[in-house]
Chain A
Amino acid sequence: MTEITPATLRHIERPPRPSALSNALTFGWRAVLKFRHVPEQLFDLIMTPLMFTLLFTFVFGGALAGSTRDYLQFFLPGILVQTVAFNAVYSGMGLSTDLRKGLFDRFRSLPIWPLSPFAGLIVGDMLRHLIAGAIILGIGLILGYRPEAGLPGVVAAFLLLLAIGFGIGWVFIVLGLLIRTPTTVMTLGFTVLFPVVFASNIMVQPETMPDWLRAFVDVNPISLMTTAMRGLMAGTSTPGQIALALLAPALLTAILVPVTLCLYRRA
């Protein structure tokens, strides 16, 4: 028969309050554990960018750039940006699921640093971005992609990629907090992302587009990010390009972190 043993009944006092960093690292640890238990999630993450890479390179590549090889050289840095943007949608869905399941109610009733659950989400996001990015880059290398700037260029490009993922991540954290149906988060996320991703310079140079569209493509943050990624991988980037690429992530972070906190605490 079940009896609660003295272990539970023993009065356990609260240890000294942990630091914000310790809370954040604990959430990060949870994100890593989830990877160990649900490695399948990687499949979702890389299938879309993989299909894009293969289809665009082999179906349109020759027509768009003269040869599939030249097209891949043009396309790969952009597909990395797209991968990170689409990944962020999945993390918004994950948040929405956690909220529905009441997991966040427990976090909110704990005396912890209020942003720490999100720090954990972001650690998970960063891992996903790195893994998915590395796989896409690996496939690109096999197909003949060559980053002219070599390893330092790739490392710099991946750092930029993480910064981009960090900024876009907050958009979907806010959506995840606002919308309690994970599939709605996904639908809404892709509805917003598809036009922004396609009306950019990821797939084609904007020269042949009508003026009005070109005006948008030129200022589209996704284009600015793609230009900087290409520059870093090719060793031709300018500080101005990188600053422009970081502008949107920085603004998103500055605006959406307070919004996140506010949404998390209200209800």
Chain B
Amino acid sequence: MPEAGSNTVASKIRNDKIPAIRARGLVKHYGNLQAVAGIDLDVSRGTIFAILGPNGAGKTTLMRLLATLTRPDAGAAAVMGYDLRAEPNKVRASIAMTGQFASLDEDLTGRENLVFLARLWGFGRQAARQRADELFAAFELTEARHRQVKDYSGGMRRRLDIAASLIVTPGVLFLDEPTTGLDPSARQRVWRMIRQLAQSGVTVLLTTQYLEEADQLAERIAVIDHGRKIAEGTSRELKAATGSGFLHVTVADPATLDRAAGVLEAQLAAPVQRNPEGARLSVMARTPEAANAALTALVSAGIALEDFAMGSPSLEEVFFALTGGVATQSEDAS
């Protein structure tokens, strides 16, 4: 069976000079809408790269362009050194994509799904079964392998869907919102798997609406909105670009929240973010002195504080500062 061994291959891939993805000016229209409006992207091999953006930002479209599922209207890109337009089949042979919605046959059992895909890749009957069983063991789905996929939980489906992308080790693994809709423990599980995949030398390009996810997993993050890339860097760089620090205050009486926001905005000349559940406000403060002055102003305005803290901005705040909008953080994102 044509399985080459182990770590040497992984490290060779990681050290190769050609980037895993290089895109220039990618554009995709749907009618009048520019779903992807001229995006450049460079992803180095063996890294995890996150595309972060709200619903409708163009994340899925960008990923579908790179996975040869959709043709770009303008621009060019190479994946693992192969041009999207000139050599789409070579691109397909070196990638795997796990879409936003599980791409499994619900009527078949989990094992039949994997054996089916392994046969399509060209594994013989026996080798296909063996590979399927290895993946089931690795993803802790062995007990469920003879059940129909329609009886799987959301987390199990996700894991099976990712396993289905690993039948042949891909050069680049595309994961479109890998944890959307999962409960926290299933999400942790998927995160761990993604990290371990990257350690083995697979380049992972993932999209997410969760700032925490990008922060936790990715070495580099591109923030996109309305089809455009509005920022890119490491999580640290993005935070640094937004400002030195953030002042977080929690008011004692939620009724004073609006007034407190007004005072902070006037004092610090920066937009104030509200987190109404906790009666909490966050605002960029250029210096500790400025923060101090703002707190004093709150006290003299008669607003009682329950808590305050100075911290570096969260990715959430970075996103807010970059887009002027509110990023999704809840579970109900579609």
Residue in A10, A22, A102, A107 whose CB lies within 8 Å of B122:
A22
Q: Is the CB of B138 within 8 A of A30?
A: no
Cβ-defined contact, B135 with A8, below 8 A: yes
Partner pick for B99 among A12, A33, A102, CB 8 A cutoff = A102
Q: Mark A79-118, 1 if CB is under 8 A from B, else 0.
A: 0000000000000000000100111011111111000100
How many residue pairs at the A-B interface have CB separations less than 8 Å?
146
B73 sits at the interface (CB 8 A) = no
What residue in chain A is nearest B99 (Cβ atoms)? A102
30 residue pairs from A and B, CB less than 8 Å apart: A2-B193, A4-B192, A4-B197, A7-B137, A7-B138, A9-B197, A11-B4, A11-B9, A11-B10, A11-B169, A12-B3, A12-B131, A13-B2, A13-B3, A13-B168, A14-B93, A15-B2, A15-B123, A18-B122, A26-B116, A30-B108, A30-B116, A34-B108, A102-B103, A103-B104, A106-B99, A106-B164, A107-B120, A109-B69, A109-B95
Q: Determine whether the beta carbon of B122 is less than 8 Å from that of A14.
A: yes
Asked whether any CB of chain A lies closer than 8 Å to the CB of B40, the reply is: no
B139 on interface, CB distance cutoff 8 Å? yes
The 3 A-B pairs with the shortest beta carbon distances in the complex, nearest first, are A18-B122, A7-B134, A8-B138
Find the B residue at minimum CB distance from A266.
Answer: B71
A29 CB within 8 Å of chain B: yes
Residues of A within 8 A of B83 (CB): none
Check B103 against A105 for contact (C-beta < 8 Å).
yes
The yes or no answer to A207 lying at the interface (CB within 8 A) is: no
| A105 CB contact (under 8 Å) in B9, B97, B148 | B97
User: From residue 146 to 160 of chain A, which have CB atoms closer than 8 A to chain B?
Assistant: none
B69–A267 CB distance below 8 A: yes
* Nearest opposing residue in chain A for B109, CB measure: A37
Q: Does B107 contact A (CB under 8 A)?
A: yes
A211 close to B (CB within 8 Å): no
Asked if B119 contacts A26 (CB within 8 A), the reply is yes
Name the CB-closest residue of A to B140: A2
A34 to chain B: closest CB distance in Å? Answer: 5
A16 at the B interface (CB under 8 A): yes
Instruction: Tell whether B67 is near chain A: CB-to-CB under 8 Å.
Output: yes
Is A5's beta carbon under 8 Å from chain B? yes
Contact among B106, B192, B200 for A101, CB-based, below 8 A? B106
Q: Which residues of B contact A107 (CB under 8 A)?
A: 120
Assuming A26-B116, A110-B117, what are 6 further A-B pairs, CB within 8 angstroms?
A2-B139, A2-B192, A8-B138, A37-B108, A37-B109, A102-B102
A15 touches B97 (CB 8 A): no
Q: Is B308 an interface residue (CB 8 A)?
A: no
Contact between A5 and B137 (Cβ–Cβ < 8 Å)? yes
Q: Is A226 an interface residue (CB 8 A)?
A: no
Beyond A103-B104, A267-B69, is A11–B6 a contact (Cβ under 8 Å)? Answer: yes
- In the bound complex, do residue A13 and residue B169 qualify as a contact, i.e. CB atoms below 8 Å apart? yes
The yes or no answer to B48 lying at the interface (CB within 8 A) is no
Query: From A114, which residue of chain B is reached at the shortest CB distance?
Result: B89
Q: In the complex, A23→B119 CA distance in Å? A: 8
Residues of A within 8 A of B10 (CB): 11
Please tell me if B1 contacts chain A, counting CB pairs below 8 Å. Answer: yes
Given A5-B137, A102-B100, A111-B89, A15–B122 Cβ distance below 8 Å?
yes
Complex CA–CA separation, A15 to B107 (angstroms): 27
Contact with A along B187-221 (1 / 0, CB 8 A): 00100110011011100000000000000000000
Q: Would A106 and B103 count as touching, CB distance under 8 A?
A: yes
Chain B residue with the shortest CB-CB distance to A107:
B120
B244 at the interface (CB under 8 A from A): no
Complexed CA–CA distance, A161 and B103 (Å):
33
Chain A residues near B6 (CB, 8 Å)? Answer: 10-11
A16 to B122, CA, bound (A): 6
Give the CA-CA distance A17 to B123 in the complex, in Å: 9
* Residue B315 is within 8 A (CB to CB) of chain A in the complex: no
Q: Which of B100-138 contact A (CB under 8 A)?
A: 100-109, 112, 116-117, 119-124, 127, 131, 134-135, 137-138
A109 to B67, CA, bound (A): 6
Q: B residues 1-32 with Cβ under 8 Å of A?
A: 1-6, 9-10
Q: Are B99 and A5 within 8 A (Cβ)? A: no
Given contacts A11-B200, A12-B167, A33-B108, contact A26 B120 (CB under 8 A): yes
A14 — which chain B residues lie within 8 A by C-beta? 2, 93, 121-122, 168
B96 on interface, CB distance cutoff 8 Å: yes
**In the complex, A5 Cα to B135 Cα: how many Å?**
9
B-chain residues with CB within 8 Å of residue A5 when the two chains form the complex: 137-138
B92 and A110: CB pair below 8 A?
yes
Judging by beta carbons under 8 Å apart, are A11 and B201 in contact? yes
Q: Tell me the minimal C-beta distance from B190 to chain A in angstroms.
A: 9
